[in-house]
Structure 1
C-alpha cells in the first residue's frame, strides 16, 4: 500500500499507465475515467469542456449522470463556483465542494443542480485551458456516500499531473494529424506531381498527381523508391540537381533548379527542385526526413481557366474576357469572330483594349500571362 488506503502501488502504476494510453487513443478516456471513479468510490464522472466564449458546458466521456442533469448543468453554468474558480487556477489544481473553501450546502448550485439528481459532492481539476475553453476532469459522490475524504483527494492530486500531461500530448498529436491531413488534401489537389524526397534520394511522400505520372511510366519510374527518368541525360541531370538541393546549405545558396524530363515519344515534364529547410537533418532520422521537394509539371497539361478572377484583376469587360478565352483555345481572329458572332474589327478592338489593360503588346505575351495566372489545381471530375 502507499498510505492512501484506497489503492495499492501496483494498481496505481496500472492506472497511471492507462492514463498515458489515452494520449494515443483518446477513446480510452471513457474507461480510464471510470477506473479513476472506481478507485475514488465515485458514482459518476467524466471530462467536461467549459466553453468560455459562450459560457456553457459540454460533456465528453461522461458516465453515471442522468441525461437531464447535463441540461441543468448547462443552464446553471454561471452559478457553478468551482467552474469559475478553475478559470483562475492552474492545470491540475484540485477543487471539491466539500473542501473548506466551498461550503457545499450553502450554494445555490448544490441546491438546484446537484441535490435534485442525488449528487452529494463533486471534485474536479482543470486539465488544459485556452482563451476559448477549459477542459476539466470530474468525479461525483452520490447522496448515499460521504463527502470526499482526504485520502480520496490525495489520490486525485497524485493523478492530476499525469492526466494533464496525457491530454496535452493527445491534443498535440491530434493537431498534428489534422494539419497533416489538411496538407495532404491540398497537395492532392495540385496539377503538378509532388515528390518529397530524403537527402539520400528515396521518396518519402508523393501526391495523387505524382502517382498518376508514375503509373503512366512514359517519362519517369520509381526504382528502389527513387525517381528515375527514362531518358539517360535527364536521369543524370536530376540526380545532380537533387544532390545539390539536399546539401545542408542549399536553402541559403541554391538558385532555381529546373530539369527537363522528356518522354520517349515527345513531351514530358519540367521538374522544379526546392530544398526543404530543416533543423533536424543531422539527427538519427535524417535519412527518413523530407529534404527536397520535386514538382513535376506537364507544360501542356490543361488547367482550369481563372475566368472572372483574371478579368477582375485586369479590369476586363465581359466582352473582352470572352475574346480572350476564345483566343486562348487556339482560335484565330476570324474563328473567334465566327464563334462569338461579332466582326473581326471588333475582335481587334477588344484585343487592343486587353493589351492596354494587361500591360502586354502582343498576343503571345498575353496568352503567357493568362497561362501563368491559371491555378495549379486539378479540375474535379463530376460525380457519377
Structure 2
C-alpha cells in the first residue's frame, strides 16, 4: 500500500522503475514527467533548470504549457515565489504555490503570469543543485482543477528522493560520457594531476596522477568532493581561483591562475587553473558539466606539461600554446575556436604568430615539429602507483 488515495502499490512501484530508467536515458524524462503529472491530476509539468545567480529559468521536457506562458515565466521568474523558495529550500523539499506562506491569490506573479493562461497552482521540488544552478521537477493545474491538496504533496514527497537520485546518477554518467577515449588516455598519461571541477568546485573527474596525489594526503585531500589543500591559506586561495575561473565571463585569453600548495615540510605542488568552455553541449545536465581544469604538479619532480618546453623554446604565449595544443588533437579551426571559447579569426591570428616564431609555414610542418619535441610522458606516468 502507498497510503495515497487512488494510487496502487503496483502503480507507484512501476513509476519508481521508470524514474530510475531515466538515469541511463535522460530522454525518457519527457514521458516520465507526464506519468507523474497524471498521478497528481495535473495538466502540465516537466523539469526546469534555474540559474539562481542570474534568476533565469529554462524549461526542459515540459508539456501542457503554451509557448507564450513559458516565455513570460522565463522573463518574470525572478519575481516568482519559486525563485526565492529555491534559494532556501533543501534538495527534495516539496512546495506548492497554494500553500499559505506564498499568498498566491494576492501575488502579482499569479495575476500577471499564471491567471492569464488559466493556471491556478504549481507544485515542485528542487532535485539537483551545483553552485548557482538547480534542476527542479514541477507540475501545474489549470482552472478546471482545484488547488493541490495534502494527498498531492505527499505523493511528491514520496517521489522526490527517487527523482533526486536518478538525476544525480544521470549527472555522473553524463560527466563520464564527456570524456572521449583519446582525452582520457591523454589525461592519464600526464605526470601532473588533472582535476576537472564543476562551478562550485565539486570534482567531476580526476586522472590517475590526481588520484595518487590525493592518496598521499600530504598537500591536498578531497573534502566533500572538493580539492582541499591541507594549508589553510592555500585552501582559501584555490577556492577563490576556482570561483573566478568558473565565471561565465572568464576570459580564456588572460593569464591562467596559479596557486602554491605547500606540504608544510618545504615541498608541495603548484596548481594551474584554466576555464573549460562547454561549447555547443545541450541537455538537462549541461549547466552542471566541468567548468574548470586544475593541473597540479610538483615543480621539482614532475616533468614539463605537454608543449611547455616547446612553448618556452619558441617564446609562445599561453594563448598561442592553447591554440597549438587544440590543433594537435586533430581539431580544425572552427572546432578549436569552439573548445577554447574564442573566434576563428583569433585562432588564425595565433597560428600566424606561431608560424613566425617556429619558422614554419604550414600546419602539418608545425604539428610535426611539436610532435618531435614531446617527451614520452605516458611511460613516465606508469611508475608504480
The alignment's TM-score, normalised by the length of structure 2, stands at: 0.51
Q: Give SS of 1:76's match.
A: helix
Describe the shift of the 1:370–1:59 C-alpha distance in structure 2 as closer, same or farther (beyond 3 A): closer
Q: Which moved more, 1:174-183 or 1:150-159?
A: 174-183
Distance in 2 separating the partners of 1:173 and 1:370? 34
1:39 alignment counterpart: 39
CA distance in 2, matches of 1:185, 1:147: 55
1:263-342 alignment, distance < 5 Å: 310-312=313-315, 322=359
State the distance in 1 between where 2:357 and 2:122 align.
71
User: Which aligned pairs between 1:365-376 and structure 2 lie closer than 5 A?
Assistant: 373-374=373-374
Partner of 1:160: 160
- Structure 1 or 2, whichever has the larger Rg, is 1
Instruction: Answer whether contact 1:6 1:151 (CA < 8 A) is retained.
Output: no
Aligned to 2:6: 6
Is the 1:49–1:59 contact (alpha carbons within 8 Å) kept by the matching residues of 2? yes
SS of residue paired to 1:110: helix
Matched residue of 1:101: which SS?
helix
Match of 1:54 in 2: 54
Question: 2:370 & 2:78 partners in 1: Cα distance?
Answer: 58
Determine the structure 2 residue equivalent to 1:106. Answer: 106
C-alpha deviations, 1:234-284, integer Å up to 9, x for none? xxxxxxxxxxxxxxxxx99xxxxxxxxxxxxxxxxxxxxxxxxxxxxxxxx
Q: Distance in 1 between matches of 2:41 and 2:20?
A: 22
Q: Which residue of 1 aligns with 2:19?
A: 19
Paired residues, what number? 219
In structure 1, distance between residues paired with 2:356 and 2:162? 67
Q: Does the 8 Å CA contact 2:310/2:370 hold for their aligned counterparts?
A: no
Shift of 1:53: 3.2
> Which residues in structure 2 correspond to 1:174-185 (within 5 Å)?
174-181=174-181, 183-184=183-184
- 1:309 to partner: Cα distance: 6.4
Q: Secondary structure at the match of 2:179?
A: helix
Partner-residue secondary structure (3-state), 1:141: strand
**Which residue number corresponds to residue 169 of structure 2?**
169
In 2: Cα distance, 1:88 partner to 1:96 partner: 15
| Aligned CA distance change for structure 1 residues 180 and 90 (closer, same or farther; 3 Å) | farther
Shift in CA distance, 134/371, structure 1 to aligned 2, threshold 3 Å: closer
Query: Given that residues 95 and 123 in structure 1 are in contact (C-alpha distance below 8 angstroms), is that contact kept between their aligned partners in structure 2?
Result: yes
Matched residue, 1:70: 70
Q: CA deviation at 1:177?
A: 1.6
Report the equivalent of 1:29: 29
Question: How far did residue 94 of structure 1 move?
Answer: 0.4
For 1:10 and 1:125, the matched residues in 2 are separated by 24
SS at match of 2:102: coil
Write the distance in 2 (CA, Å) between the matches of 1:70 and 1:79. Answer: 14
C-alpha RMSD of the superposition: 3.7
Unaligned segments of structure 1, at least 5 residues: 191-250, 253-303, 330-368, 378-384
TM-score of the pair, normalised by structure 1: 0.51
307 and 141 in structure 1: CA distance in 2 versus 1, 3 angstrom threshold: same
Provide the C-alpha distance between the structure 1 equivalents of 2:370 and 2:147, rounded to a whole number of angstroms.
74
- SS of aligned partner of 1:128: strand
Structure-2 change in CA distance of 1:371 and 1:6 (3 Å):
closer
- 1:120-175 deviations in Å (ceiling 9; x for gaps): 10000000112131110010010110001111111011000110011001001111
Q: Which runs of 5+ in 2 are unaligned?
A: 191-214, 217-306, 318-354, 378-385
Asked if structure 1 preserves the Cα contact closer than 8 Å seen for 2:30 and 2:62, the reply is yes
